[in-house]
Structure 1
């Protein structure tokens, strides 16, 4: 019926602006006393006009499709005897028409067996049906543009029609093709065979195929499958969307080189039935007026794969205290090897995406978060795993991770989420619509990355198994905006201390320092941070100061001391600098030079040391001067107490981590010169 109506609209458009509508033809026939009731039947009036149009254009294939559409719409089966041996007027009229069309008994029998049509017949009919629907729509859309006939109402209707056709028939990567838009009532097969076999084109790849009937593994090459696919879930989703398997279908399995079992296959089919319950409800106009959004999401983990296959083959079971699926056993094995994401969206499109390789979980999580609408209802998420080893624990771990990340996902600010898989770290940048992840090979690389500048405050969430046993697992989650937090951990055995700072944007700076006492450890840093804040406030207008909340500096001690495992944080008061113990001031001013170089000028208690005077010996000269001021010439560390970077970074809102990084480099060069002096 849709084909007939669309084509009639095409006829009207082709006659524009002198359109002869069917109601006018009907009246003309009545007034001309052409009162053949059969010819005045509305469907026959429509058909005659379409026939006239298509014959004039020489489009005989489209005419044959129109005839089949009319025949199936009337639904009188001419290959079978009439009820009670009495022919209705509709049947008599159809008999006359089909004789004019030169249809034989074989063609009538084929159309009348529509209720028994299966995949092959439906696929052939669908191709012609889709071609006609999309051709007519494009014709009408082009007509509306060329004639400027698009009123707001017509534009809306055409837009909705286009999206309806797109959702039902347009092909795109990962989309499961819907082959039965009302062509046949039931595509379910009595018996099917599912088999994996080597790819004929790629020697190292395999493919999955679905065959009608029960086929032996040795005979597969002699049969043509109903459908082939590189991935199993894509094939199973196709059969579910099109109703090829129902509860009575007998399914034979030839798993090939995969680890797929009949138990896993049965559960995969059940999971897909829950996500795609047939028949799907019709898509209303409200959904089509908006962009499609995911409604149901099913994650299938390790389909056809045993993550601990080496132990299964030896009939062994591994026992370990480390049972996390992302870091299983002492060698921290990742048990999440593949994920198949099945999505049913608001336009009833079914999409399947396969993720494998070392970043399968992260890539899937990234794409899932990027698919979410900025506002409105979030999709219903299900995670399932039916592999041989630790399936339930794996599914629960993935679902927990997705839900925790979703809880950290905010449409208002960019957050971060830190995950550890095996010995590697992965940092997710949770920017709405632009979620990404960075892989970091080890802890030093992670610390360096966390010290990079941030455009604003970015909260950092830790996965439950990330940084296990590290003091950073205690430090990173407590970051606060508008605050500089200093953490220190002592190691009296090695006479060192680990200093960590989270700045006002939650960037991390970390440095290992020699330790004598807490006063000498913390006071230089306190004086430096106060100088940085003083410089920042000096750049603000006085009338803006109340609007800029001053940054608070907080101190925490990580306990117990190293090398014991860190267990807690305890707040400590800021260090006090008694007047009787004045500190030696070392101020640095950094200015840009050619290329990546920079000029450094140092002031030691206000005495200037510049590169203009000392060139490459600047730090050696300063070291000599500092040692001369010390009574016993001791070579204990020297600290930068003030730093100006305005010429390098500009006078905008600079992060404290910038100053701390420059401070570390300058102090390293100065203290190295002290040791050599």
Structure 2
């Protein structure tokens, strides 16, 4: 047994050295420098070293001694041999090991790949020590980025996977969406930079189900030296419930890494296809290690993932996705076979890829097309985007069906599922007026030299509206090309071109076919959008995604396509200068607002456009804006009004901005609790009333004084802008204040000491249902509702497929300092002792249709 263990250790060291060499071979000097220096920076802690915060920060890696290369790097940090005075950490080092994982060292690593580093630490670190170590890693991350290397640190408690704990969901951390599947990826791809060997590699695959017993036996027989190994646990406890959360996570990751995400999502699908006899890829790689079959692509985890996915897709005769997977693999490797021989020090990646391409039978034309991805323009990117998204959605649907067939629930926490579905909803859901963003990772530059906007009027062969071409307006060129995009309104088309990167400051603009908008007006519109709406913003925080979306940046474009002031040209207009009202102008009481286009970005980073036209355009635009603001929302960070009229432009802009700002203030004012707030607005010869209530804003046309005062009186008496069933109890004020259109909201209110609670449900239109005297598990209710919505509602449409990501949001009404407030509903943590009440929920615990299948 001892000799067998020693043989395995030698093989592990050989594989680790091979992966270390591969990780650094084709990378730049900065990457090699940091990759080698990381163990030193976490082993020692000194004010002159990067990452230093305070003297009591945990540091020190088990069994680590700097080698010659690392000693030389230390000398660059400490001139005059000052590094020799560094105090060695204590023997019982807090850090058990340092490991890179993911694509690093595999064929999937490219020159722009980032680093994922696991810092595995002792379980005895307390909360303050863990936070100090986390802060140190954050400072090192900032320092590495300044050196040109993107790096993410993950603090891993040695007992994390045994205790089924998870990190905080973030841009890189999958949170609770993956558990054993995350460990599977770590085991198959880990490279030990410093610290202990990974014990899991020693346990034969056939003993995985009895992992702990086998390890104890090894220690009992003296085959293992105590404290020499890090033991994160076995893979025998894989729960099929992980697949749903993991597929959501990969779908989210596809926003930034589409080619890698397709491979990993189809791998999840292959795992589910083998259920319940799933053989994880890490276990297969370990089997090769035990059998000495290391020649197999050097046990490259990406190559073996491709083999597993290929076998699955061939078994189900899915030739289309197999071809896509191969293209994704080729593009992820980012090694251009058409560029001639490689001068890199280690050409192994190119050799493997050439073997695979020859096996696939690809022609040179296909290689040329793929190698030219950096020069793809909108037509090719749109095809690739739709193809990638369709493949991801198909895998997602297959995993949903798998979960339904096997009656599986979701293992991820409701909070993490809620945040992920919000991210996906914001990125993928197709809605009227929403600017669809093509994946920016497919091609780096979609800019066009020429963009031509052509308007087709009513009664022509083509439908009325605007057509966009990436050609100069020579008719022969236009006729022979399909338009890039169509929309009925110009603002949406310009926004689409801007946010997808086609429109830049170097683009030559052309406009044809209409007198509604000339070239100077178009250029002005483009400049206004470009100045006030940056293309890229920081990703929304989990807190923002778990809350109702709020308008962050709002712009109103007035009179782009319909401009009543054009009629004022060369005319003598009689009006009272002291009563110059752009909404009811002159003796003719003419409204000078002919069209209003909205462009806004919300707190989920969605970009929306809307168009309103005619004399009521202003009131309709106001109602729409205010309806998207719940009363507890923060005001927009910016509100801009742009007017494109040749006459009275400044006056129109100022007056509209004043009106919009006043109405937003009325909607969001938290210190005005009276229910009868209203604003009267005269448009042309009509008077309109806007009624501001807790749950929304209603609009009513008021024809005479009796009707006007009657509407105010009724509104005060009713107190709500919607009708509720007379048999239902009134909603608490705090719930009314939190009502938000567009999402489904569940509010729980406890009633101690009776152990019962009430549920207030607001649908997407703020229609309310109330359920009293409920008993049972709120967490189970939440899971059931989320599961139903994830699999039953058809809201996202791409071709023939549809997926819903607009899952309900859950809140708790609590008392704080004598006042009711709303907080996100959190399920009980693992270490809390909760008393389960009767499993039978109250008679009305689940809402009627549409909430119940």
Q: Distance in 1 between matches of 2:276 and 2:303?
A: 25
The alignment status of 1:338 with 2:599, answered yes or no, reads: no
Which of 28, 31, 41 is the aligned partner of 2:287? Answer: 28
Aligned residue for 1:223? 481
The alignment status of 1:234 with 2:474, answered yes or no, reads: no
Aligned residue for 2:352? 93
Q: Distance in 2 between matches of 1:26 and 1:225?
A: 50
The alignment status of 1:213 with 2:465, answered yes or no, reads: no
When the two chains are superposed, the root-mean-square deviation of aligned CA atoms in Å is 2.6
Structure 1 segment 163-178 matched on structure 2, within 5 A: 163-178=422-437
Aligned residue for 1:399? 657
Aligned residue for 1:378? 635
Q: Is the 8 A contact 2:509 2:523 kept in 1?
A: no
Q: For the pair shown, which has the larger CA radius of gyration, 1 or 2?
A: 1
Cα deviation for residue 387 of structure 1 reads 2.0
The alignment status of 1:186 with 2:448, answered yes or no, reads: no
Once the two structures are superposed, residues 399-419 of structure 1 have per-residue CA deviations (whole angstroms, 9 ceiling, x without a partner) of 111111222224644321111
Which of 494, 513, 530 is the aligned partner of 1:273? Answer: 530
Inter-CA distance 70–284: structure 2 relative to 1 (3 Å threshold): farther
Inter-CA distance 284–114: structure 2 relative to 1 (3 Å threshold): farther
Inter-CA distance 328–219: structure 2 relative to 1 (3 Å threshold): farther
Q: Is the 8 A contact 2:563 2:594 kept in 1?
A: no
Cα deviation for residue 9 of structure 1 reads 1.8
Aligned residue for 2:107? none
Q: Which structure 2 residue ranges, 5 or more long, are not aligned?
A: 1-259, 721-853
Aligned residue for 1:114? 373
Q: Distance in 1 between matches of 2:543 and 2:518?
A: 43
Structure 1 segment 451-530 matched on structure 2, within 5 A: 454-455=716-717
Aligned residue for 2:703? 441
Cα deviation for residue 283 of structure 1 reads 3.3
Q: Is the 8 A contact 1:255 1:261 kept in 2?
A: no
Cα deviation for residue 345 of structure 1 reads 1.6
Cα deviation for residue 423 of structure 1 reads 2.3
Inter-CA distance 254–284: structure 2 relative to 1 (3 Å threshold): same
Inter-CA distance 352–51: structure 2 relative to 1 (3 Å threshold): same
Q: Distance in 2 between matches of 1:206 and 1:374?
A: 38
TM-score (norm 2): 0.50
The alignment status of 1:75 with 2:334, answered yes or no, reads: yes
Q: Secondary structure at the match of 1:243?
A: coil
Q: Secondary structure at the match of 1:123?
A: helix
Cα deviation for residue 212 of structure 1 reads 1.3
Aligned residue for 1:387? 645
Once the two structures are superposed, residues 73-95 of structure 1 have per-residue CA deviations (whole angstroms, 9 ceiling, x without a partner) of 11111111234498711111111
Aligned residue for 2:777? none
Cα deviation for residue 63 of structure 1 reads 1.0
Inter-CA distance 343–89: structure 2 relative to 1 (3 Å threshold): same
Once the two structures are superposed, residues 136-190 of structure 1 have per-residue CA deviations (whole angstroms, 9 ceiling, x without a partner) of 2233344445545445535544444433333222212111111224111111111
Q: Distance in 1 between matches of 2:282 and 2:624?
A: 53
Structure 1 segment 242-253 matched on structure 2, within 5 A: 242-253=500-511
User: Which deviates more, 88-97 or 144-153?
Assistant: 144-153
Q: Is the 8 A contact 2:559 2:593 kept in 1?
A: yes
User: Which deviates more, 287-296 or 78-87?
Assistant: 78-87
Cα deviation for residue 15 of structure 1 reads 2.4
The alignment status of 1:293 with 2:550, answered yes or no, reads: yes
Aligned residue for 1:46? 305
Structure 1 segment 267-666 matched on structure 2, within 5 A: 267-312=524-569, 314=570, 321=577, 322-379=579-636, 380-409=638-667, 410=669, 412-414=673-675, 415-443=677-705, 445-447=707-709, 449-450=711-712, 454-455=716-717
Q: Distance in 1 between matches of 2:713 and 2:289?
A: 87
Q: Secondary structure at the match of 2:339?
A: coil
Q: Which structure 1 residue ranges, 5 or more long, are not aligned?
A: 459-677
Aligned residue for 2:131? none
Tell me the number of residue pairs that the alignment of Structure 1 and Structure 2 aligns.
455
Q: Secondary structure at the match of 2:690?
A: strand
Q: Distance in 2 between matches of 1:236 and 1:229?
A: 10
Q: Is the 8 A contact 1:294 1:345 kept in 2?
A: yes
Inter-CA distance 420–33: structure 2 relative to 1 (3 Å threshold): same
Inter-CA distance 425–275: structure 2 relative to 1 (3 Å threshold): same
Inter-CA distance 432–359: structure 2 relative to 1 (3 Å threshold): farther
Aligned residue for 1:652? none
Inter-CA distance 370–152: structure 2 relative to 1 (3 Å threshold): farther
Inter-CA distance 287–426: structure 2 relative to 1 (3 Å threshold): same
Q: Distance in 2 between matches of 1:160 and 1:453?
A: 37
Cα deviation for residue 335 of structure 1 reads 0.6
Q: Distance in 2 between matches of 1:232 and 1:186?
A: 23
TM-score (norm 1): 0.63
Q: Is the 8 A contact 2:338 2:368 kept in 1?
A: yes
Q: Secondary structure at the match of 2:589?
A: coil
Cα deviation for residue 213 of structure 1 reads 2.0
Aligned residue for 2:387? 128
